[in-house]
């Protein structure tokens, strides 16, 4: 069903835009956490389903969570 985790992309937080509201950490704590600077970071890109990551993206008030290609 919603288990649509795709391993070819991972999420990241644009910390220049992050306001530190913690909404993504509350929504998807297995992927996002707060740093000592009071900003969010992705600490475990594969920590939850793609749907849960999308949920975090959608709850971000400044839309600063993005996908990047895992292959550099």
Binding site for ligand SF4 (CB under 6 A): 13, 18-24, 40, 60-62, 64-65
8 A C-beta contact, residue 58 and residue 12: no
Nearer to ligand SF4, 31 or 71 (CB): 31
The CB-of-1 to ligand SF4 minimum distance in angstroms stands at 25
| Euclidean distance between CA atoms 15 and 69, whole angstroms | 18
Q: Which is nearer to ligand SF4, 3 or 49 (CB)?
A: 49
CB 20 within 8 Å of CB 62: no
Nearer to ligand SF4, 3 or 23 (CB): 23
Question: 68 forms bridges with which residues in the sheet?
Answer: 10
Furthest-apart CA pair in the chain: how many Å? 37
Closest approach, Cβ 36 to ligand SF4, in A, equals 14
């Amino acid at each position: 069903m919603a288990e649509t985790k795709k391993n070819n992309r991972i999420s990241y937080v644009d910390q220049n835009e992050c306001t530190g509201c913690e909404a993504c950490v509350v929504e998807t704590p297995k992927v996002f956490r707060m740093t000592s600077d009071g900003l969010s970071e992705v600490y475990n890109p594969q920590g939850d389903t793609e749907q849960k990551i999308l949920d975090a993206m959608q709850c971000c008030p400044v839309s600063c969570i993005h996908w990047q290609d895992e292959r550099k």
